[in-house]
């Protein structure tokens, strides 16, 4: 593995950790709205309700796992993406047109998203279970205890609950469009700090717009109420029958508000490391 390959992994780590710290409160709000629409409605009211009942810690509930794991996850995301680009160039030849380059970007992003699912599905399951714990009702004492109890009661399959929705979200449009949007905007806007942050933030928003319905179903599969365990299709059909098409965009405002600053910081951190010392 050459220096450039290693740099992709290091850059992903730096960008990912910065992004998690900035965006976790918004993610907590999103998960609460998605999983408990009977209690949590809009973004501002959910923020206030969590802060009033649980304090500032409530907004950062479940962040230990993302922060501790995001270094590896983000390193893998950007590392696989960067090295997939190198492999595509090796076997398909150097890009001679922008169309060829952007095709490789989309393919490399999709490869990255597919591989990441093995990590993101169980880690997001634990994060979601911790985030939906109401104040005073403590079923889990941290991420490790949560993972252990899920494994004891639901087995290995339980830790991977929601994998079908995760694959559709990340391996489908998600990461391919994520990296493609960023590279296209960067190509148009240039490489200044503000341009990179705007391109990164916009790429995050665009990718979420295309994959958000899958994220809603994933959250509902991972945070079932009344002990209900459903497949992707069962959860989709029931959600639509009970709440209509709007259910697939529930909590999207919180996600969009979170997505821009998180991905702006993530991509800027990534680019800073990639270009450091060059």
Report, as an integer, the average pLDDT of 260-273: 90
Q: Is pLDDT above 80 for 219?
A: yes
Whole-number pLDDT of residue 114: 95
The whole-number average pLDDT for the span 156-170 is 93
Residue 115: domain span: 3-275
Whether 159 shows a pLDDT value over 70: the answer reads yes
| pLDDT for the residue 2 | 58
Report the distance separating Cα 174 and Cα 1, nearest Å. Answer: 27
What is the pLDDT confidence band of residue 218, given thresholds at 50, 70 and 90? very high
pLDDT in tens, 4-44: 678 878 888 888 887 887 788 888 888 788 777 878 877 88
CA distance 30 to 254: 5
CATH (domain of 213):
1.50.40.10
Confidence of residue 138 (pLDDT cuts 50, 70, 90): confident
Rounded Cα gap, residues 168 and 211, in angstroms: 8
276: phi then psi, degrees, rounded to nearest 5: -65, 130
pLDDT of residue 212: 93
- Distance CA(224)–CA(230), nearest Å, equals 8
pLDDT at 198: 97
| CA angle centred on 82, ends 80 and 86, rounded to 5° | 110
Alpha-carbon distance of 42 to 61, in angstroms, equals: 19
pLDDT of the residue at 248: 93
Confidence (pTM): 0.80
Out of 56-65, 83-92, 169-178, pick the least confident: 56-65
What value does the mean pLDDT take over residues 63-84? Answer: 81
181 pLDDT more than 70: yes
What's the rounded Cα separation, in Å, for the pair 34 and 56?
20
Across the chain, mean pLDDT equals: 87
pLDDT score for 234: 94
Contact 46, 73 (CB under 8 A): no
**Total domain count, the chain:** 1
């Amino acid at each position: 593995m050459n220096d450039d390959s290693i740099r992709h992994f290091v850059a992903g780590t730096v960008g990912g950790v910065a992004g998690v710290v900035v965006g976790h409160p918004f993610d907590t709000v999103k998960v609460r709205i998605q999983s408990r629409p009977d209690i949590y409605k809009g973004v501002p009211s959910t923020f206030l309700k969590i802060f009033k009942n649980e304090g500032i810690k409530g907004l950062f509930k479940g962040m230990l796992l993302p922060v501790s794991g995001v270094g590896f996850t983000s390193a893998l995301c950007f590392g696989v993406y960067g090295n997939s680009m190198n492999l595509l160039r090796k076997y398909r030849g150097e890009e001679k047109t922008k169309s060829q380059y952007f095709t490789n970007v989309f393919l490399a992003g999709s490869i990255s998203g597919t591989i990441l699912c093995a990590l993101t599905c169980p880690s997001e399951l634990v994060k979601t279970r911790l985030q939906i714990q109401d104040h005073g009702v403590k079923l889990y004492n941290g991420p490790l205890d949560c993972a252990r109890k899920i494994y004891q009661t639901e087995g290995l399959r339980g830790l991977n609950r929601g994998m079908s929705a995760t694959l559709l979200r990340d391996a489908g449009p998600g990461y391919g469009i994520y990296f493609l949007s960023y590279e296209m905007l960067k190509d148009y806007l240039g490489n200044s700090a503000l341009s990179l942050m705007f391109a990164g933030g916009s790429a995050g928003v665009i990718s979420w717009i295309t994959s958000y319905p899958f994220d809603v179903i994933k959250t509902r599969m991972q945070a079932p109420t009344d002990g209900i365990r459903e497949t992707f299709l069962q959860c989709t059909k029931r959600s639509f029958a009970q709440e209509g098409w709007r259910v697939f965009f529930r909590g999207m405002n919180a996600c969009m508000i979170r997505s821009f600053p998180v991905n702006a910081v993530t991509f800027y951190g990534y680019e800073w490391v990639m270009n450091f010392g060059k």
